[in-house]
Amino acid sequence: MSDKKSGAVSAAVETRGYNFGTFAGVYTPALLTILGLVMFMRTNFVLGNAGLINMLIILAVGSSISLVTALSISAIATNTEVRGGGAYYLISRVLGPCFGTAIGITLFLTQSMAIPFNIIGASEALIVQWPELRSYFPLLNLGLGALLLLLVWFGSDWSIRAEYVIMVIQMVAVAFFLLGPIGDFSWANLVENLAPAEGVGSMIPLFAIFFPAVTGIMAGVNMSGDLKSPHRSIPFGTLAALGSAVVLYLIQIVLAAGCFSREEMISAPYGILVENALWGFGFVILAGVQATTLSTALSWMLGAPRVLQSLGADRVLPGFGFFQKTGGPKNEPRRALFAVLLLITPILLWTGFIGRDVVEIDDSPLNIMSRLVSLFFLFANAIINLAAFVESRGANPSFRPRFRFFHWSVAAYGAVACTIAAFLIDVWLSLAAVVVIGGLYLWTRYRNPGKMRYGDARHGFVYSRIQANLLLLQQLPLHPKNWRPTIMILTITPEKRGDILEYAMLVSQHRGILSVIQVIIQPPGQDFCELRAKRLVELRAIFKERNWEVLPTVVVAPEFDTALQTILQSHSLDPILPNIVMMGWPRQRERVSTFFRQIQLIVNGFRRNALILANASTCFVPRQDDGGTIDIWWKTPEGGSLMTILGYLVQHNHEWRRSRLRIFIMGSEAEAGYLNLILERARIAAEIVQIDPAEKLHIMFRRHSYNAELIFIEFNEYDLRDERLQTASHYLVGRMLRDMPPCFLAVSSGEADLMA
């Protein structure tokens, strides 16, 4: 093993952290988080309003979203190396650094928001028990937050030890409030609670209140960097915790529906648990709600800094490297923990001041926070499922998850269900979330273009879609209406002929695929494979630096004519093959004869269009005031159609949007009228200028187009076999275009049709 690889492996081992097992590292934090605040404080409230039938539907929908998300996480986690950062690390290695960073920041905010949500629940439970504490709501929030901060500061091992104690207290409390009222169970009472409460309409707000109950599966995933065997622990621990919690919720819902009246569940959802506790031990329920809410907040306070720390380790954005630094003997993310503290403190104060004056449970800050937390988690789950969908549908041979209970349709359901649920809860907040995630993606892409490469699954997904679409495109009939410029640029020195590449991008306007082919005349005795490979790497670097949106390739051949024949035969990916060959006019007169033979081969032999930049030394700057003209010298309908379509596409460039098309025609009034009819049917605006055919072309050309911005002229002389006439044509082109604006000579194969 190389030093570099062994160093990477050593680093991975050193940063593994506490080496927790499945029970301590995943099952315990996930279960404690799921059996959290909502179970004690809001499940009865939702049940009383929704009724038993709707409540079971809400539980089924919410748990199904969490289940498919858990399956997606399991598939990803068992298909890649897992390090610190939890879901962020997994997503970024599937969807790439830009999307991964956007979602990483979203996950950090999501899990940070869940911390005050649970602290508020703990404070509210204390206030229900001792109403005189309501005026101290803000101080209660801050005090409980400080207690959790101390636990996390001393390390995850202290937190995990605390969670064992918390788990015992929580389970005892759950048993006490489940068994306490069981003697009052009545089928008649259960039947009365089947239907929703009077006046309750949509179930969506109630779903938003309940959904945070089943979002705790992420708590175990967040400990990915501290697990001994994450590939095993994440799937088994997450699914086991979710299954255990759903069974307990189902028992709680059915018992409550049969034991409590609707009015009690709505007005005092937590109070009736305390009043009906087993043996009258209400203080056990209070201890349980404190244990469950604070343990959930503790789980998120452990997870959120680790997401931010992982973002810092990847250094995908300027300044984020600050959060990479760790503290303590076990690499605790203490800098990231301070960032969490700065984020949640204002929320704790704000909700505390609101909670001091709240009387009705509907106005509780807990209900406000539940909607926000639900939205955040729904979008986070949607992206996790999207990542699994892309990984699976990408069909990379490297997608070999050890977890077998997964199919791409499961991930698709999860992504769609989460998105729909989020928009049903709140359209405007969901739109804002989409804008924020999209903005983070674009920001990352702008600030960090191509620096981080994870081998993400987007490549495989795009490849598989291209493969399927190419096979489909091959079966579709080709029609002139579907014609678009697919340009092949021939040059010996691409970096020195940037003018041709820039013009190719200008006339295509992202409508077609551009490729540039550098032809290298093979030096004697040099290995052409090595020469080609080296030059291709150089070209890709040049094109990326200059932001040229073209696909480069290199052909090494003994001479140019042989290379051209090979290129025209083989440079295509059927059914996408170049329909325009673009090149420059030969500078040496002795090359003219060969050049004309090449044009004949391109147009007559292979039925491609040819576009020749005839005056390469000329540069241009489009007019920015009233705009100049794009002149088209029309000779035949075939050539005129090609040039007019290309001129029309040039107008779509933002720098050329003020330019006007001007078509010159040497013909009668009837021919000009017919051309007007063609342009009207083609929905293209252009000025038609009639030219006297008796006048010499080169004189009229220079007179009318001297101040144009860009010129297209049809070139018919390529078929002349007489070398003297070819030489004369070469001289005429040079004479016509001296000091003229950029001019393209166009030769049409006839497939571009304005009437399509």
pTM over 0.95: no
The yes-or-no verdict on residue 5 having pLDDT over 60 is no
Are 246 and 56 a contacting pair, CB within 8 Å?
Answer: no
- List strands edge to edge, sheet with 551-557: 551-557, 514-521, 487-491, 580-584, 609-613, 743-747, 710-714, 629-634, 660-665, 687-690
Where helices occur in 315-364 by DSSP H, the ranges are: 334-356
Number of CB atoms found within 10 A of residue 296's CB: 31
Q: What is the pLDDT of residues 13-60, one digit of tens each?
A: 344 456 788 888 888 888 888 888 899 999 999 999 999 999 999 999
Of 82, 124, 117, the C-alpha closest to 298 is: 117
Please answer whether residues 546 and 505 qualify as being in contact, where contact means their C-beta atoms are separated by less than 8 angstroms: no
pLDDT band at residue 529 using 50, 70 and 90 as cut-offs:
confident
Averaged pLDDT score across all residues of the chain: 83
Span 410-430, mean pLDDT?
A: 92
Look up residue 732 and give its two tokens: 């005429």
As a whole number of angstroms, the distance between CA 74 and CA 67 comes to 10
Per the CB < 8 A criterion, the answer to whether 196 and 265 are in contact is: no
Q: Is the model's pLDDT at 453 over the cut of 80?
A: no
Number of neighbouring beta carbons within 10 Å of residue 188:
8
- The pLDDT, as a whole number, for residue 46 is 95
The closest alpha carbon to 254, from 311, 185, 350, belongs to 185
Q: What is the pLDDT of residue 618?
A: 56
Tell me the pLDDT tens digit for each residue of 547-572.
Answer: 888 888 888 888 887 788 888 887 77
Q: What is the pLDDT of residue 203?
A: 92
The structural domains of the chain, with segments of one domain joined by +, span: 19-158+184-261+293-353+364-458, 560-747
Q: Which of 149-153, 179-183, 318-322, 357-361 has the highest mean pLDDT?
A: 179-183
Read off the DSSP letter of residue 522: P
Mean pLDDT of 233-256: 94
> In the structure, what pLDDT confidence band is assigned to residue 349 with cuts at 50, 70 and 90?
very high
- At residue 150 the predicted structure's pLDDT band, cuts being 50, 70 and 90, is confident
Tokens of 318: 């300027």
Does the pLDDT of residue 7 top 60, yes or no? no
Q: Report yes or no: 390 and 412 within 8 Å, Cβ to Cβ.
A: no
Place of tokens 């070819």: 726
Q: Tell whether domain 19-158+184-261+293-353+364-458 is in CATH 1.20.1740.10.
A: yes
Q: What is the pLDDT of residue 341?
A: 93
Cβ distance 75 to 385 under 8 Å?
A: no
Residue 559: its pLDDT value, please?
80
Q: What is the pLDDT of residues 102-146, one digit of tens each?
A: 778 888 888 899 899 999 999 988 998 898 999 999 999 999 999
61-65, 187-191, 393-397, 506-510: lowest mean pLDDT where? 393-397
Q: Residue 581 corresponds to which tokens in the numbers above?
A: 């060959």
pLDDT of residue 422: 92
Task: Say which residues have a Cβ less than 8 Å from residue 488's Cβ, sequence separation at least 6.
Answer: 515, 516, 517, 567, 571, 578, 580, 581, 582
User: How sure is the predictor about 359, in pLDDT bands with cuts at 50, 70 and 90?
Assistant: low
Instruction: Please indicate whether residue 8 or residue 527 has the higher confidence score (pLDDT).
Output: 527
Can you tell me the mean pLDDT for 530-543? 87
pLDDT at 413 over 90: yes
Confidence of residue 719 (pLDDT cuts 50, 70, 90): low
For the ranges 40-44, 509-513, 634-638, 735-739, the lowest mean pLDDT is seen at 735-739
Residue 383 is predicted with a pLDDT of 86
Measure the CA–CA gap between 352 and 127, rounded to whole angstroms: 12
Least confident of 135-139, 266-270, 311-315: 311-315
Q: What is the pLDDT of residues 484-497, one digit of tens each?
A: 888 988 888 888 78
Residue with tokens 């959120």: 304
- pLDDT tens, 620-654? 566 656 678 999 999 888 899 999 999 999 988 88
The rounded percent of the chain whose pLDDT value lies above 90 is 27
Q: Which amino acid is at 745?
A: L
Lowest mean pLDDT among 272-281, 335-344, 568-577, 645-654: 568-577
Mean pLDDT of the 690-712 span = 85
pLDDT of residue 512: 82
Of residues 344 and 37, more confidence is placed in 344
What percent of the chain stands above pLDDT 70? 88
Q: What's the pLDDT at 345?
A: 94
Quote the CA–CA distance of 624 and 561 in Å, as a whole number.
Answer: 42
**C-beta separation of 632 from 651 below 8 A:** no
Q: What is the pLDDT of residue 157?
A: 66
Interstrand relation of 743-747 and 629-634 (parallel, antiparallel or unpaired):
unpaired
Q: Is residue 688 predicted with pLDDT exceeding 70? A: yes
Residue 461 has what pLDDT? 62
Distance CA 519, CA 555 (A): 5
- pLDDT tens, position by position, 194-211: 999 988 888 999 999 999
Beta-carbon count within 10 A of 696 CB? 7
Residue 667 has pLDDT above 60, yes or no: yes
Q: Is the pLDDT of residue 710 over 80?
A: yes
173 close to 292: Cβ distance less than 8 angstroms: yes
